[in-house]
Structures are given as structure tokens and as C-alpha cells.
Amino acid sequence: MTQQAEPVAGGPRAHEFAGKVALVTGAASGQGRAVARALVAAGGSVIGFDRDRPLSYPAYLDHGADELDRLADELGEAFLPTRGDVRDQESLDLAVSAGVERFGGLDIVFANAGICAYGYSHELSEQEWQDMIGINLTGVWHTTKAATPALIARGGGVIITNSSIGGLRGMRRLSHYAAAKWGVIGLTKSIAIELAPHNIRAVSIHPTGVDTQMNDGLAQAEGKTPEEIAEASAGNLQPVPWIETVDVAELVLFLASDRARYIDGAQIVVDAGLLTA
């Protein structure tokens, strides 16, 4: 990951999310953290959820238990740190109820927590497959299940799921990742149908490689540089190895806003043109 400070989206629309409350999973790092910062910068409140104990998964670089607290110190009253595991429904239910109690309701969900690792499909262990599906697909379902009653009670809202370009194509040595990310689309589109009568939209986003610790972990596991990893797994049309977390935050804030009020059930790519060719 590049060392310069991550840019923060949302500045020009300083009050756009005033009074809005968001649940962001995977908030301690990368895209989740950038979205949390951007929402708070735009006047919103955030329930930030991340893992409650070190995760042991190939290529996962643990950011340490303090990262969520550091973000809470930085963002102040508008940020509530909550901990658990997206594989554990109860931990998400508790996070939502604590957030609703603190902030008075829930409007936006960014179901984002995830992991990634390489392995040929026929060489993956049962555990690697189950962890991937458990976190990257079932974890998204748990997140939406925990949040939906609060969104309905609010009279409307939006659910944004973080899939990947791997949710729109096959990827060598990423079959378990792609299977989970394709599953996220089916889940998101079905939720959109079910929840439209409640004035709740559901949209999936599909980033190309993003400069986060996920990429760094893959690079370390493969003995390569993060740039080599990004280029090998992505191959963007635009001449950049990856996009930045701010590019994802900009998209998520737009989709979460009323400016996107008729974007529903869709798959939105932010891929530097990758899927064009």
C-alpha cells in the first residue's frame, strides 16, 4: 500500500449525510475505513464493524486490534467501533442494536468485510473454501440480515455490497473468491426485489484492484511486489496498477445518496476500464 495519506472523499458535500447513519463492515482498514471517513466528513454517523480477534487466513495481513480504536479517536462521536466476526450473526445483530441505540436509526449499509487468497480450485483445502464463502458471501448475508429490520423501521435506506470484478468474470487461482463474489450479486439483486416495497435500494459494486492491505498480503504470500500482484490479477485498461480507496469511497457515497435514488439492483463497476476489453 502506498505510504501517502489516504485522500478523503466527501469534502465538497460537507453536510450531505447529516442525520444519516451507516453500518460499515471491514471498517478498520482499506475501503471500509475510507468509506467511514468519507461518510463522517460528509456529516454522517458510522457504526464501524471489524474482526474481534486475529484472523488466520492465507494472505491476510492482520492490522492489529488497535486500528478500529485509532479510527474512533480520529472520527470522534460520529463513529461507533463494534467488533465481532461477519460469520457470527449475533455479533452483527449486537453491533446494529448498539448503533441504533447510539444514533437513533440506520439508513445505509456498506457490506464490505472480506478476505482474498490464491489457490487452484482443486488444491484448495475444505477450510480455505469454507472460510472464503463464510466471510465473503455468508458474511454479507449476515450483515444485511442484521441491518434490514432497522432499515425497514426507518422507512427506507440503501444496502451497498462490495463484490469485485471477480464477481463478473472467472479468475485463475481465485475460484473460491469469484464464487463468493458472484454469489454477492445474486444476494444483492434478490434483496433489491424483496426490499423495494420498503423504499430500500440494494446495489453491488465491483472494483478492480485497490491499493489496500489485501493486495499487500497477496504480494507477501506470493513473494512479489503489490504492483506485480495488481497487474497480474487485474490488467486495467487505464495505465494504473490499481485504484485508490478514495475512488471506491466516492462511488459508495454517490450510491448512498439521494442522487442515486433510482439506481437499484445494479452492478456498478469501478475498474479503470478492465472489463471493457
Identity of the residue, 148 or 245, whose beta carbon is nearer to ligand NAD in the bound complex: 245
118 flagged as catalytic: no
- Which residue, 113 or 253, is less far from ligand NAD as judged by CB? 113
Helices (H), 112-268: 126-133, 139-154, 175-195, 213-222, 226-233, 245-256
Residues 177 and 119: their CA atoms lie apart, in Å, by 10
Nearer to ligand NAD, 63 or 198 (CB): 63
> Sign (positive/negative) of CA torsion 14, 20, 22, 28?
positive
Minimum distance, C-beta of residue 166 to ligand NAD, in the bound complex (Å):
7
CB of 170 to ligand NAD, least distance (A): 15
> Residue 109 has which C-alpha cell?
449499509
Least CB distance from residue 100 to ligand NAD, whole Å?
A: 19
DSSP classification of residue 32 = H
User: Least distance (Å) from ligand NAD to the CB of residue 155?
Assistant: 29
Measured from the CB atom, the residue of 112 and 188 that comes closer to ligand NAD is: 112
Spatial separation of the C-alpha atoms in residues 49 and 113, rounded to whole Å: 9
In single-letter form, the type of residue at position 179 comes to: A
What radius of gyration do the chain's Cα atoms show? 17
Q: DSSP 3-state assignment of 193?
A: helix
- The DSSP code sequence of 158-175 is EEEEE--GGGSS--TTBH
Q: Which is nearer to ligand NAD, 21 or 229 (CB)?
A: 229
The residues of the shown chain that bind ligand NAD, judged by CB under 6 A, are 26, 28-32, 50-51, 55, 63, 85-87, 112-116, 135-136, 139, 162, 164, 207, 209-210, 212-215
Candidate list 57, 60, 118, 177, residue with the active-site label: 177
Give CA–CA dist 237/234, Å, rounded. Answer: 9
Alpha helix stretches (DSSP H) within 226-274:
226-233, 245-256
Give me the helix-helix angle, 30-41 and 67-75, nearest 10°: 10
Residues pairing with 203 in the sheet: 160
Q: How far apart, in whole angstroms, are the C-alpha atoms of residue 62 and residue 14?
A: 32
CB of 162 to ligand NAD, least distance (A): 4
Among all residues, which ones are annotated catalytic? 177
